[in-house]
Amino acid sequence: MKFTDLFMRNDSGKEAPDYIVCPSCGRRAEKGDVVNNNYICTFCGYYYRIRTKNRIKMVADKDSFEVLFEDLTTANPLDFPGYEEKLADARAKTGLTEAVTVGKCRIFGEEAILGICDARFLMSSMGHVVGERVARAFEKATELKLPVIMFVCSGGARMQEGIISLMQMEKTAAAVKRHSDAGLLYIPVLTDPTTGGVTASFAMLGDIILSEPGALIGFAGPRVIEQTLGQRLPDGFQRAEFLKKHGFVDAIVERDDLKETLYKLIKMNNNTYKSGDEDSKVNVSIVENPEESSLSAWEKVHAVRDLARPSALSYINEVFDDFIELHGDRYFSDDRCIVGGIATLNGKSVTVIGVEKGHDMAECKKRNFGMPSPEGYRKALRLMKQAEKFKRPVVTFVNTPGAFPGVEAEENGQGEAIARNLYEMSTLKTPILSLMIGEGGSGGALALAVGNEVWMMENATYSILSPEGFATILWKDGNRAEEAAGVMCITADDLYKLKVVEKIIPEYGGASEDTIVEIGAYMRENISSFIEKYSAMTPGMLLEQRYNRFRQF
């Protein structure tokens, strides 16, 4: 059964059935139950495709949607035989004038430009009017300084328009770029299916890319791939979950949660810190010398390697509010070792990034024991550049024995990825605070610690490499690791004296579940003060302070 047989019969004047047969599980469900469940199968969770007016009802505040550019009508640029008849038939069956509808709306009171692609209209293929409406939507959003939310689905280019359809890819991409350069938010929501030229243009150019569960997403359709290669594709290939795993989707959001998620993301983007004036005077002096820890360097090495020690996510969830995790480097994969996203602190938005080790062996394996791969560093950099665009401060939580030294990491450019982070972070036009919360291992840690200030927890370590590696390289004897720890100057006390760190965070007897509330409260208060102080700086002052901080070494 085609999906058009399930919900669309009323459009042609026929009486709708009392039940719906799910194309996924084959079970019959009351139509009213499925509608009340946001067009999701009540048995298996299958996501039905949604017509435009129902999508607007689900996302936009009641009576807030104002349609735009409805007067644009499709011509036949290539004089393709039968094209006018196909368009007329699509208009009659759907009640739409084209495959995309755009307008201005409110989402829980927040204004946005909203676009909805409808697969019922020639599989939402991109002809010249689709491209024109999308481009104008971004131009209008740029003029009004509004975010754009685009519900995307498409079978690709519109064959009847040939090369003119192809030109819409560049036109829409250019409009997205202008909107982005104006510092405005774009969130595409990928629905089933999103393929072809739409995928290769405005669908994948969002600041934050969301998807509905199970959506088919890809450039070449699966049938084309199978016919070209002559092989069967693996289960789940090109589905939303596949895209998230491979770094191209930030989050898969259930339909029930979609409106609230969009609202939170828009709201967070609106609650940003403002840079100071050129005449701002900011005191960036180092804090007074704290009391020294009673643990030896070697004891601290063991303390930070304890799996029970709170992790990056532990502190992120303790210190910040409304954390929304984002995924993927947009190139290759989603490194589970690097976590990051948007959160709020005192009602203002912050980008937070951390190295997550895990708390048991199974999670440590999943997180690669806190050793980032190139795609992890690239994900972190993507989030930092996003923070710069939206004027969000960046806070990083570093806890890594070092960058992953595997063959695949070298194949994917580990050295270049670390170097690129150092290069880009040095000129990031937003405040950066880096917190060493456990191990700070070599360049793998430094790639997330190019901050205006770097703070260390009382028992954390930060070093050129591990004591074991130091002893092996310098003394040809790894058994002298404890001795190496004592001479390497790797503790917070050592690095404070060397002015490598600006603040030591107390652990109140040792970081654990018992002390995380006290540690989190200290972090929250001091991070707030840091952000207030550095947000008063102009971008030029921020960059000069950060440059001079490292220049002194």
Hey, how many other C-beta atoms are within 10 angstroms of the C-beta on 448? 32
What's the token pair of residue 537?
């700086």
Q: Is 490 within the bounds of a domain?
A: yes
Interstrand relation of 503-505 and 453-457 (parallel, antiparallel or unpaired): parallel
Residues 35 and 165 in one domain: no
Write the single-letter amino acid at 500.
V
Question: Residue 308 sits in a domain of what CATH number?
Answer: 3.90.226.10
Whose structure tokens read 């909805």? 116
Interstrand relation of 432-441 and 453-457 (parallel, antiparallel or unpaired): parallel
Q: Is 275 within the bounds of a domain?
A: no
Range of the domain at 486: 285-551
Instruction: Give the 3-state DSSP-derived string for 145-179, with helices as H, strands as E and coil as C.
Output: CCCEEEEEEECCECHHHHHHHHHHHHHHHHHHHHH
Cα angle 208-212-215, degrees, rounded to a multiple of 5: 110
Residues 65 and 207 in one domain: yes
479: Cα separation from own chain's centroid: 43
Q: Where are the alpha helices (DSSP H) in 206-257?
A: 222-229, 240-245
The domain tally of the chain equals 3
Helix (H) or strand (E) segment spanning residue 529: helix 516-535
Task: Give the pLDDT confidence score for residue 290 in this predicted structure.
Answer: 59
Residues 372 and 315 in one domain: yes
Hey, how many other C-beta atoms are within 10 angstroms of the C-beta on 465? 18
Spatial distance between the Cα atoms of 139 and 4, rounded to a whole number of angstroms: 33
Residues 403 and 483 in one domain: yes
What's the token pair of residue 154?
């498409």
Q: Which of 116, 75, 92 is nearest to 12 (CA)?
A: 92
Residues 180 and 155 in one domain: yes
Residues 234 and 108 in one domain: yes
Spatial distance between the Cα atoms of 486 and 116, rounded to a whole number of angstroms: 62
Task: Give the pLDDT confidence score for residue 19 in this predicted structure.
Answer: 85
* Residue pLDDT tens, the chain, 553 long: 344 444 434 444 455 558 889 988 999 988 889 999 999 999 999 999 999 999 999 999 999 999 999 999 899 999 999 999 999 999 999 999 999 999 999 999 999 999 999 999 999 999 999 999 999 999 999 999 999 999 999 999 999 999 999 999 999 999 999 999 999 999 999 999 999 999 999 999 999 999 999 999 999 878 878 888 788 888 899 999 999 999 999 999 999 999 999 999 999 998 877 666 544 444 444 444 456 668 999 999 999 999 999 999 999 999 999 999 999 999 999 999 999 999 999 999 999 999 999 888 999 999 999 999 999 999 999 999 999 999 999 999 999 999 999 899 999 899 999 999 999 999 999 999 999 999 999 999 999 999 999 999 999 999 998 999 899 988 999 899 999 999 999 999 999 999 999 999 999 999 999 999 999 999 999 999 999 999 999 999 999 999 999 988 8
Instruction: Give the 3-state DSSP-derived string for 354-403, with helices as H, strands as E and coil as C.
Output: EECCCCCHHHHHHCHHHCCCHHHHHHHHHHHHHHHHCCCCEEEEEEECCC
Q: Is 273 within the bounds of a domain?
A: no
Task: Give the pLDDT confidence score for residue 92 in this predicted structure.
Answer: 97
Residues 248 and 204 in one domain: yes
Q: Which of 268, 301, 329 is the last residue of a domain?
A: 268
Q: Is 278 within the bounds of a domain?
A: no
Interstrand relation of 461-463 and 432-441 (parallel, antiparallel or unpaired): parallel
Task: Give the pLDDT confidence score for residue 374 in this predicted structure.
Answer: 95
Write the single-letter amino acid at 482.
E
Question: pTM of the predicted model, to two decimals?
Answer: 0.86
Peptide bond into 188 cis (omega under 30): no
Write the single-letter amino acid at 348.
K
Hey, how many other C-beta atoms are within 10 angstroms of the C-beta on 89? 11
536: Cα separation from own chain's centroid: 27
Hey, how many other C-beta atoms are within 10 angstroms of the C-beta on 287? 12
| DSSP 8-state class, residue 118 | -
What's the token pair of residue 48?
């039905």
**Residues whose CB falls within 8 Å of the CB of residue 378, separated by 6 or more in sequence, listed in order:** 329, 330, 331, 332, 417, 420
Maximum Cα–Cα distance for the chain, whole Å?
Answer: 85
Q: Is 276 within the bounds of a domain?
A: no
